[in-house]
Amino acid sequence: QLQLQESGPGLVKPSETLSLTCTVSGGSISSNSYYWGCIRQPPGKGLEWIGIVYYSGNTYYNPSLKSRVTISVDTSKNQFSLKLSSVTAADTAVYYCARQKRAYDAFDIWGHGTMVTVS
Amino acid sequence: QSALTQPASVSGSPGQSITISCTGTNSDVGNFNLVSWYQHHPGKAPQLIIYEGTKRPSGVSNRFSGSKSGSTASLTISGLKAEDEADYYCCSFAGSNTWVFGGGTKLTVL
């Protein structure tokens, strides 16, 4: 069973860059059947789509975050990573990694999420 | 790209049916049959329960069903159970390989 595990710093200072790594286990990230995505949930609010990456490196981002977001993939480590620059308190959230199954056009497997606080 | 609109909360008694709406625009829900629904128990990983508006992944109970009319998608849960108490989110394709989520609905089973 494929699993996703997020790892991040927990606490980031304002104006710095938030870095999050998603490790894929139990399956290969190098599949043409999936995209790999990042989604977040600020405290007390709903989910927000951040972006997705294909194993080839193609990326697609939320227009409202595009200027600050980079998602990259490392097939040798079976990982993908999120970088969000110039963070503010508004970026405080639980950050999730998720697999988007192309045949479903939906996120079929999620990680448990990791809380990142900007302070 | 604005968040899809969901009611903040709904409630129902065990055995009853409830429906959660998800309203978008002609740029997302109204233009594509690519709405998915997720069940989220706080502290756990969200779970996909409906994709492409009406389809259920293997293993998801047939008590969950989806539909769409115009720019509004709906999730119906029939035969409510205590374990259905959770947050529910819709998500829609919004063009140009971008996606938008709803604000979420808290379901309380009375």
* pLDDT, tens digit, 9 for 90 and up, residues A17-70: 999 999 999 999 999 999 999 999 999 999 999 999 999 999 999 999 999 999
The band of A13, judged by pLDDT with boundaries at 50, 70 and 90, is very high
Interchain proximity B91–A47, CB inside 8 Å: yes
A26, A20 in Cβ contact below 8 A?
no
- Output the pLDDT for position A103: 85
CA angle A20/A94/A90 to nearest 5° reads 95
Chain B nearest-CA distance from A99, in A, is 11
Q: Which of 61-90 (A) contact B at CB < 8 A?
A: 61-64
Residue B2 scores a pLDDT above 90: no
Interchain proximity A49–B99, CB inside 8 Å: yes
Residue B1 scores a pLDDT above 80: no
Q: Does B44 reach chain A within 8 Å, measured CB to CB?
A: yes
Nearest to A24 by CA among A36, A40, A39, A11: A36
Q: Does B46 reach chain A within 8 Å, measured CB to CB?
A: yes
What are φ and ψ of residue B34, in 5° steps?
A: -130, 55
Interchain proximity A104–B102, CB inside 8 Å: no
A107, A40 in Cβ contact below 8 A?
no
Express the helix, strand and coil content of chain A in percent, nearest 5 each.
5, 55, 45
A80, A25 in Cβ contact below 8 A?
no
Q: Does B58 reach chain A within 8 Å, measured CB to CB?
A: no
Q: Does B95 reach chain A within 8 Å, measured CB to CB?
A: no
Interchain proximity A61–B38, CB inside 8 Å: no
Sign of the alpha-carbon torsion through B70, A49, B66, B6: negative
Which residue type is seen at A58?
A: N
Interchain proximity A63–B98, CB inside 8 Å: yes
* pLDDT, tens digit, 9 for 90 and up, residues B20-77: 999 999 999 999 999 999 999 988 999 999 999 999 999 999 999 999 999 999 999 9
A24, A46 in Cβ contact below 8 A?
no
- Output the pLDDT for position A119: 97
Dist CA B77 CA B86 (whole Å): 12
- Output the pLDDT for position A104: 86
- For residue B104, give every residue at least 6 positions away whose Cβ sits within 8 Å of its Cβ, in sequence order, or none: A45, A46, A47, B6, B8, B40, B87, B88, B89
Nearest to B66 by CA among B56, B75, B58: B75
* pLDDT, tens digit, 9 for 90 and up, residues A55-111: 999 999 999 999 999 999 999 999 999 999 999 999 999 999 999 999 889 999 999
Chain B environment of A106 (Cβ under 8 Å): 34, 36, 48, 51-52, 91
